Chain A
Amino acid sequence: MSRIRDNSISWETFNEGLWKENPVFVMLLGMCPVLAVTNSAMNALAMGIATAFVLVASSTLVSLLSKYIPKQVRIATYIIIIATFVTIVDYVIQAISLDLYNALGAFIQLIVVNCMILGRAESYASKYRPLKSIVNALGMSAGFTIALLSLGVVREILGAGSLFGIQLFGDNFQPWVVMVLPPGGFLVLGAWLLLFDWVNQRQQKKAEKQEAHHAS
């Protein structure tokens, strides 16, 4: 494979995942952990970090090895690489905290099938140099973690009246239980998507207006 691509690293390389192509709010990838484990801020943060580790590590390895991987077996190879790092994360979380491990449940193992990670390996890491892939993976991870956190924080505050396990309100607070249940995930995700799109559209309109202004 000839490397004619631009391998220079810029803010855009990082920002792509953080904002422009945010895996959750723009591409809507990896919805399964997004909806399932964001019932508390701590779970969301842990899931974000675990996914970030797998994404960065697998992107690095895929990028390093891409020259040697024949096209026909590339998906199988990527899956092996991703599964390896997921298993490593699984062990590490068990070693750090069993409570956290039980709270995240099967969703740690399910990082394997997070399409964001396979998508990055296929469409980015296999095409660019390791350093650029790492920067991009870091951006994507940051975008993913922030998205998970923004869901987790809202759901925990509304659904349990606490943040990172610390009670925010007095005993009289009646938790809005549905928020920590699966439907709450959809509601909060919908609200965030609405906000994200609205901001994006406003920015676009502003840019158009400015262009029109310059033209006239």
Chain B
Amino acid sequence: MNNPEANDEVSTTKEHQADTPSLRMISVLTGIAMLSGFLVVFTSQLTAPAIAENQRIAIEQAVSKVIPNSVSHREFALVDGQLGVVEKGSNQKIVYAGYDSDGEFLGIASRASAQGYAGMIYLLYGYDPFCQCIRGIKVLKMTETPGLGDKIITDKKFQKNFEQLDVQLNKKHSALKNKITMVKQGSKKNDWEIDAISGASISSNAVGKALNQSAQVLLPELYPLIEQLKQAE
């Protein structure tokens, strides 16, 4: 920076600046923007199949975790209380039906979300209509504090809550018989209660809230469709 040559150059370019026509500036910017557009579209086209495949694998793994023993799954869209075909890009409510190796229907996986401590917590949970319970959850996305809030994923005792969480419907099949409730760590007495993690109560409460909100709406809607799902495969 301290050599005199550099200083000379600055002064010459300053004189030079005055006579750069704006047409040239526009054409250079346009040219570069076009080049950039081409590169981005090219990469996007090139990577699209791999990205779609990755997302499919991620869902596959999540579904097989929340519906134990399931080896394959099918996607359904819930439209007006009916099972429909999933349309790409639309904002449909999607459920995943899991089947075992003999094609027997095992359960339904659905997404749920709630506000956690540092942001939204998105999770997938598996519903088993035979025991009318939740069989497992998998956190898909969260931004909870590492070491504290992320215990909702790593804490084995907490995960145990969801091996058989009771979500029976009431007699009218309009809502859950017992609301999913959070209780203090170690005081779980009933099957529909979840032991919160001490030190991460906001995060673990959010999981309970997400499950309750989703199950209260989804399960009554699913109830008349279970027979249909059993025969779907």
Contacts and interface: CB of A to CB of B under 8 A. Distances in A.
A97 B39 CA distance: 21
Contact of A84 (B24, B25, B36, B51): B36
A88 B40 contact: yes
A196 interface: no
A80 B50 contact: no
Given A73-B28, A92-B47, A181-B145, A98 B58 contact: yes
Residue among A73, A96, A159, A180 facing the most chain B CB atoms (10 A cut-off)? A73
B131 interface: no
A5 B146 CA distance: 50
A88 B28 contact: no
B32 interface: yes
A39 B147 CA distance: 12
A1 B25 contact: no
A7 to B, nearest CB: 14
B204 to A, nearest CB: 17
Given A1-B9, A80-B33, A91-B51, A175 B40 contact: no
A199 interface: no
Interface residues of A, number: 35
Given A84-B36, A92-B47, A71 B17 contact: yes
Interface string B7-28: 0010011001100100011001
B40 A87 contact: yes
A72 B25 contact: yes
Interface residues of B, dominant DSSP: helix
B209 to A, nearest CB: 22
A177 B50 contact: no
A159 B147 contact: yes
A95 B39 CA distance: 16
B43 interface: yes
A80 B51 CA distance: 24
A87 B51 CA distance: 14
Interface in A139-185: 159, 175, 177, 180-181
Contacts of B51: 91, 94-95
Interface stretch (A12-20, A62-70, A108-116): A62-70
A80 B32 contact: yes
Contact of A88 (B32, B33, B43, B54): B43
Contacts of B12: 2
Contacts of A215: none
Given A1-B13, A92-B47, 18 more contacts: A4-B5, A5-B5, A68-B28, A70-B28, A71-B20, A72-B17, A73-B25, A81-B32, A81-B36, A84-B39, A87-B43, A88-B40, A91-B44, A91-B47, A94-B54, A159-B147, A177-B147, A177-B148
Interface of B: 5, 9, 12-13, 16-17, 20, 24-25, 28-29, 32-33, 35-36, 39-40, 43-44, 46-47, 50-51, 54-55, 58, 141, 143, 145-148
28 contacts: A1-B9, A2-B12, A4-B5, A4-B9, A71-B13, A71-B16, A72-B20, A72-B25, A73-B25, A81-B36, A83-B36, A84-B36, A87-B40, A87-B43, A91-B44, A92-B43, A94-B54, A95-B50, A95-B51, A97-B54, A98-B54, A105-B143, A175-B147, A177-B146, A177-B147, A177-B148, A180-B147, A181-B147
